[in-house]
Amino acid sequence: MIRKLTLSIIAAGFLICGGAVQAASYQFGQLLAGNGPANPYFADLEIIDNGGGNWTFTLSALDLNTIFGSSSFIGSMAIDGVKPTSISTDAAGGVTAVSLKNGGGPGGIYDFRYDMINPKNDKLTGLESVTWHVGGLGSIALPGFNGEMALHVQGIGSNGDSAWYVATSPVPEPETYAMLLAGLGLIGFMVRRRKESVI
């Protein structure tokens, strides 16, 4: 009886941990507002909870030149949620600083934005990535892909149009799959043992 209870607790722990992993990847490309193609896949975002209210964001642009034109770049990411109290950037590519700005984004639903144009010639262009770290968020849930985050693409086409895009889908992390599979495996093992003990 104690052994069964122990296995049940372990299995439940794996399932809970698997569902609570605070890391996620997102693919951007669903048009929210502005003049641009409707559903281009043009950027990946990875968010990791480092604990203690500290989070890491890595934004990677795909081939923006081919998708949007040779003058295109990602200028900012608007967030509908809690604004961090601190920010630092790992300089990479053309972006040397990501800064916090108030507002931004269409519809007035966004609380703040991570600005990637600082100064004007410092921007995220095609095939570049940038990583930044924020603090003061606590253990908030990761933002979803239902419009809580939006990327601003500027310099689109020959007219220099701009457009806002939200994530098309979250991509589950490998660790999440591993934990869920381990939990399901333990539950299957317990069910099989129970059947054997009945026979």
Residue 141, CA distances (Å) to 20, 81, 136, 166, 176 in order: 9, 10, 13, 18, 15
Query: Per the structure block, which two tokens stand in for 66?
Result: 């081919």
- Kindly indicate the confidence band of residue 189, based on its pLDDT and cuts at 50, 70 and 90: low
pLDDT value at position 20? Answer: 47
Mean of all residue pLDDT scores within the chain: 81
- Kindly indicate the confidence band of residue 174, based on its pLDDT and cuts at 50, 70 and 90: low
Q: Which residue has the higher pLDDT, 188 or 163?
A: 163
50-54, 76-80, 119-123, 133-137: the lowest-pLDDT one: 119-123
- Kindly indicate the confidence band of residue 70, based on its pLDDT and cuts at 50, 70 and 90: very high
Describe the chain by its helix, strand, coil percentages, rounded to 5: 25, 40, 35
pLDDT value at position 92? Answer: 64
pLDDT tens digits for range 82-100: 899 999 998 766 688 899 9
pLDDT value at position 96? Answer: 84
pLDDT value at position 183? Answer: 55
pLDDT value at position 16? Answer: 42
Secondary structure (3-state) at 110:
coil
Q: Quote the DSSP letter at residue 40.
A: -
- Which residue type occupies 46? E
pLDDT value at position 132? Answer: 95
Secondary structure (3-state) at 197:
helix
Place of tokens 């043009």: 42
